[in-house]
């Protein structure tokens, strides 16, 4: 049975849980949108500042990577996009990975669930996906990038909300703990965690890289990486490169650096 949605997200409730300085400087809350990343891009093109957040109760065209869809039922999950400006080129490739670390920490902080990451940006509980992150470049300002980082967190979604084909691979806080979680408290924790990590991205990049490595269950595994328009690569996932790429040691001993692809854990 689908439980009733918890209280609707409102600017007042969100503000009451925000302890951030930049993230959430402007808050845009919606009922239904096509995609919060699309709305955020639109706001940015009309001058929305760094740290603007867009939140919706549901999305009709929630986006994943490579044109895939993000299932976004109403009133139960978090669909959040954050506008980030003046991102140096070397920090850009770390935005999605940093977003994934923030989501994993925020879920763990509220629920104590053991969140892990699958490279590049899947947040997992055991081997099921509880959240995903999609960073998209908005444009350039003064040589630096403007980026929107979108985060979809499955909070109070029950199995009935999930299309049958995704049930074996998707989960939510409700499914894992048997209890609904407070979406606004989770959002507040996520914004604070992301703000701290985002600051560290410029000042303590090695700390972010270390945090990512510690959470990433892909490392050390035999994997297959599927890449659009290219042959699959197979090998051992050895490390994360300084730009966030996955270092894969092929069976011929050669090291490959992969910047975009879908990882399948083989063992
Ligand atoms: C992602 O893509 O994981 C990025 C998802 C980002 C969604 C957020 S929501 C707020 C913001 N606005 C947007 O429009 N998007 C962002 P990818 O790695 O390509 O994973 C997509 C795949 O995950 C799909 O093909 C499904 O297999 C699976 N999937 C779809 N919806 C899911 C859900 N709610 N929970 C778990 N898995 C899901």
Tens of pLDDT, residue by residue over 5-17, are 467 899 999 999 9
Q: Is 167 in the pocket of ligand 1 (CB under 6 A)?
A: no
Q: Could you tell me if the CB of 71 is within 6 A of ligand 1?
A: yes
- Probe target for ligand 1 pocket from 104, 132, 260, with the most ligand atoms within 8 Å of CB: 132
Q: Which of 68, 70, 95, 153 to mutate to test the pocket of ligand 1 (most atoms within 8 A of CB)?
A: 70
pLDDT reported for residue 231? 86
pLDDT at 141: 66
pLDDT score at 4: 44
Torsion angle in degrees (nearest 10) through CA of 210, 214, 215, 220: 120
Instruction: Tell me what pLDDT residue 228 has.
Output: 83
Which residues of the chain, if any, have pLDDT below 50?
1-5
Residues in Cβ contact with 1 at an 8 Å cutoff, skipping those fewer than 6 apart: 158, 160
CB under 8 Å to 266, separation ≥6 — which residues? Answer: 221, 222, 223, 224, 234
User: Measured at the alpha carbon of residue 133, what is the angle toward residues 227 and 246, in degrees to the nearest 5?
Assistant: 40
CA 37 to ligand 1: nearest atom: 12
- How far apart CA 130 and CA 42 sit, in angstroms, is 27
Tell me what pLDDT residue 2 has: 42
């Amino acid at each position: 049975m689908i439980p009733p949605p918890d209280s609707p997200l409102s600017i007042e409730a969100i503000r009451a849980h925000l302890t951030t300085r930049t993230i959430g400087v402007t808050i845009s809350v919606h009922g239904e949108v096509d995609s919060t990343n699309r709305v955020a891009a639109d706001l940015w093109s009309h001058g929305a500042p760094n740290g603007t957040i867009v939140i919706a109760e549901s999305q009709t065209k929630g986006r994943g990577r490579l044109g895939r869809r993000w299932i976004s039922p109403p009133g139960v999950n978090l669909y959040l996009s954050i506008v980030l400006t003046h991102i140096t080129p070397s920090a850009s490739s770390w935005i999605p990975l940093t977003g994934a670390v923030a989501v994993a920490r925020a879920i763990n902080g509220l629920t104590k669930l053991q969140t892990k990451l699958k490279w590049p940006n899947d947040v997992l509980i055991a081997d099921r996906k509880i959240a995903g992150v999609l960073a998209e470049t908005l444009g350039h300002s003064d040589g630096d990038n403007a980026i929107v980082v979108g985060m979809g967190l499955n909070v109070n979604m029950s199995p009935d909300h999930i299309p049958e084909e995704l049930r074996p691979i998707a989960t939510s806080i409700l499914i894992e703990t048997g209890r609904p979680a407070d979406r606004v408290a989770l959002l507040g924790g996520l914004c604070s965690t992301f703000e701290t990590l985002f600051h560290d991205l410029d000042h303590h990049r090695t700390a972010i890289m270390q945090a990512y490595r510690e959470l990433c269950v892909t490392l050390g595994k035999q994997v297959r990486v599927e890449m659009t328009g290219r042959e699959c690569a197979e090998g051992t996932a050895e490390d994360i490169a300084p730009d966030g790429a996955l270092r894969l040691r092929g069976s011929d001993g050669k090291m490959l650096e992969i910047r975009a692809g879908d990882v399948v854990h083989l063992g």
